[in-house]
Amino acid sequence: MNTKTGLTKGTWRIGKQAGTVVSDKKVITLSDTGHDDIDYYGGYLIAESIARKEDAKLIAAAPIMLETLQIINGDIDRYPNPYTALEKKKLIEQAINRALGEE
């Protein structure tokens, strides 16, 4: 899923280094900040210094949770084919599982 809200594109996930969240898509930042050291972080850095792994999981799940809420809210302009209740439930469960790190 990709939101069109200005969030960094790509899938967000826990990085190789403790307390980091990374993306598979380049983050536009100032030069020489280290955010693009994909060998070290395991992806393009979104956030670091996150003390608890559970918090990092929640941050990594933010894009999918936002998009799920947009779908459920009935953003018809963005999603011309309305989702069925079962499809919405499945999206909700995926977002919850991602936030809990169970996906």
- Residue-wise pLDDT tens digits, 3-37: 456 778 889 999 999 999 999 988 776 667 777 88
Which residue in this structure is represented by tokens 């559970």? Answer: 54
Residue at 52 is within a domain: yes
User: Where are the strands (E) in 4-87, listed by range?
Assistant: 12-14, 21-23, 44-47
Residue at 85 is within a domain: yes
Residue at 84 is within a domain: yes
pTM: 0.71
**Which pLDDT score is estimated for 70?**
77
Q: Quote the CA–CA distance of 61 and 66 in Å, as a whole number.
A: 9
**Which pLDDT score is estimated for 48?**
93
Residue at 61 is within a domain: yes
For the chain, the domain total comes to 1
**Which pLDDT score is estimated for 34?**
79
User: Based on the number of CB atoms within 10 Å of its own CB, is 27 exposed (0-12), middle (13-18) or buried (19 or more)?
Assistant: middle
- Domain range for 66 is 12-99
Task: Measure CA 87 to chain center.
Answer: 20
Tokens of 4: 């069109």
- Give tens-digit pLDDT for 49-95: 999 999 999 999 999 888 888 777 775 556 566 677 788 888 888 88
**Which pLDDT score is estimated for 80?**
61
Residue at 79 is within a domain: yes
Residue at 56 is within a domain: yes
User: Where are the strands (E) in 1-103, listed by range?
Assistant: 12-14, 21-23, 44-47
**Which pLDDT score is estimated for 4?**
53
Residue at 1 is within a domain: no
**Which pLDDT score is estimated for 17?**
94
